[in-house]
Amino acid sequence: MTNFKYLNISNSKKIRYIGKIFKNSSFIVFLHGFMSDLEGEKPNAFLKFAKKNKLSFLALEYSGHGKSSGKFINGNISKWSKETSILIRKYVKRKDFILIGSSMGAWISLNQFKIFKKQIKGFLGIGAAPEFLENLMWKKFTKKMKDETKIKGIYHLKHGNYEYPISLQLIKDGKKNKVQPIKALEFDSIKGKIDFAIIAVERTRTYKYSKFILSHGINLLSEKPMALSLIQAKKLYKLSKLKKVTYEIGYQKNHDLNFLKIKKNLNNLIKKYGELTHIKFELYGGDFKMKKKTNIRTNEILKPCNFQFPKFLNNNLKINYMIFLNRYLHSLSLFFNLFDIKNFKNIRKIKAVHFNLYNSLINFLFQKKSVVFDFGNHQTFGWHDKLILFFKKAKIELIFKSPISFKKSEVKIYSDGNLIKNHFLKSENKPLNCFEDQLKQFIYKLKYKKKGNSYLSMKIHEFSDLIWKKMI
């Protein structure tokens, strides 16, 4: 159970917070979003991370939020920013800290740069929403909504299952808290202080942000796909080469401990179980959250950015193509990684069928081995994600768990249809976090100035388009 504390910042104002101090360590300071609190998964996830890594931690509830004193309708960006700075001065004092801002918390975070510029060593925005009051609310209010706000001083905005009391004073105060945009020349002056950037955004925006970051010579770890078209993927790869940066695409399953063990021991497995004759990938998905709340989604409303679709693609298949790139490139990446494939010269007789939005069946020969990708969808239960290797004397199944369950994959070996004891490929017992291992690998490449996997990712895009030409 989280141990909450309270700090009296005035005679009438009491702020609830979470605090944990490790001697001589830097801080993580987490700032929550609009009408949120410290009961959610995000602050607890970061608190858990801080404890594990012996980093000090601070998170607070602004006045009118959670169990802090005050009424929400009396608060605004200026007041919440001031309360945050008071807590930081009292608790963090003169120590260095990293700011993590969720939604509106990113706006509050940016205001802290005006006060603690020398102490802030990093900033992470989750669904960052600076100036959302003006851009996402007031500008989109109808004349009737604006008139009601001006007359009554408040408008109760309904969005989904929530109702937000938007006061006129809140809107006016938001206009006073403009975030100073970073102009090109200003960005050039600070880029040398930025070691790397990480992108995990709505997929149609990945190319735009990646291009901006790479063009300024900043190392980049990007969620897959690197773009939503081969043309854009090639442009990003060429840009990374020009700028001589480490450019890594996040295929977290490539870092699965049991997958890496199979890859390392593949030749020994062939010696033990005979020739490898068939390879099959099955990805049907399912409940990726495994009936748990997830802290990776935000309520942010974004309009998809335009991007360049392949010329061979029919209009009615564009959504299908986007889903394929976002979901099934994981399996293609595993195949390319397992055999260190750099080109397609050993791939022949490609056959592919696309049935509907999610379902595809792909088959080809690779070095005289039959390779099958069976892609489908079931959303009601469980998770189905397998790599199956057929040897002459045995079958090996690598069974992946839901990506955010952080559970170990399983390795099963069958001979003559019977499950046999797995001495040679004993499953790793240590906790699994492929996302964390992926980040560690990226940092390793940065440290030793190694290339990222962007070339391989680009080739995966190219192969994907080759498949799609067969499917249509």
- Bridge partner residues of 440 (DSSP): none
Are 122 and 264 part of one and the same domain? Answer: no
Are 324 and 464 part of one and the same domain? Answer: yes
What 3-state class would DSSP assign to 120?
strand
pTM of structure: 0.71
Q: Does residue 385 contact residue 377 with C-beta atoms inside 8 Å? A: no
Domain boundary among 104, 129, 154: 129
Please check whether residue 148 lies inside any domain of the structure.
no
The CATH number given to whatever domain includes residue 327 is: 3.30.360.10
Local confidence band at 190 (pLDDT 50, 70, 90 cut-offs):
low
Please check whether residue 73 lies inside any domain of the structure.
yes
pLDDT, residue 159, reads 74
pLDDT digits (tens, 9 = 90+) for 196-240: 899 988 888 899 999 999 999 999 999 999 998 999 999 999 999
Domain boundary among 129, 160, 186: 129
Rounded to whole angstroms, how far apart are CA atoms 330 and 24? 41
The CATH number given to whatever domain includes residue 104 is: 3.40.50.1820
Domain tally for the chain? 2
Are 257 and 401 part of one and the same domain? Answer: yes
Please check whether residue 173 lies inside any domain of the structure.
no
Please check whether residue 403 lies inside any domain of the structure.
yes
Are 122 and 259 part of one and the same domain? Answer: no
Rounded to whole angstroms, how far apart are CA atoms 371 and 463? 14
The dihedral region occupied by 99, where left means phi > 0, alpha psi between -120 and 50, and beta the remainder, is beta
Local confidence band at 182 (pLDDT 50, 70, 90 cut-offs):
low
Please check whether residue 325 lies inside any domain of the structure.
yes
Q: Which structural domain range is residue 311 located in?
A: 253-433+455-471
pLDDT digits (tens, 9 = 90+) for 424-466: 555 555 656 888 889 999 999 998 989 899 999 999 999 999 9
Rounded to whole angstroms, how far apart are CA atoms 142 and 359? 42
Domain boundary among 72, 98, 129: 129
Please check whether residue 372 lies inside any domain of the structure.
yes
Nearest-10 Cα torsion for 133, 97, 252, 382? -60
Please check whether residue 330 lies inside any domain of the structure.
yes
Instruction: Say what angle helices 257-264 and 329-338 make with each other, to 10 degrees.
Output: 30
- Burial pattern 288-327, b for ≥16 Cβ within 10 A else e, equals eebeeeebeebeeeeeeeebebbeebeeebeebbbbbbeb
Please check whether residue 14 lies inside any domain of the structure.
yes
CA dist 86 → 90, 115, 138 (Å): 6, 11, 29
Q: 176 Cβ partners below 8 Å, 6+ apart?
A: 77, 78
Lookup: tokens for 429: 């017992």
Local confidence band at 14 (pLDDT 50, 70, 90 cut-offs):
very high
The DSSP bridge pattern shows strands 154-159 and 162-167 to be antiparallel
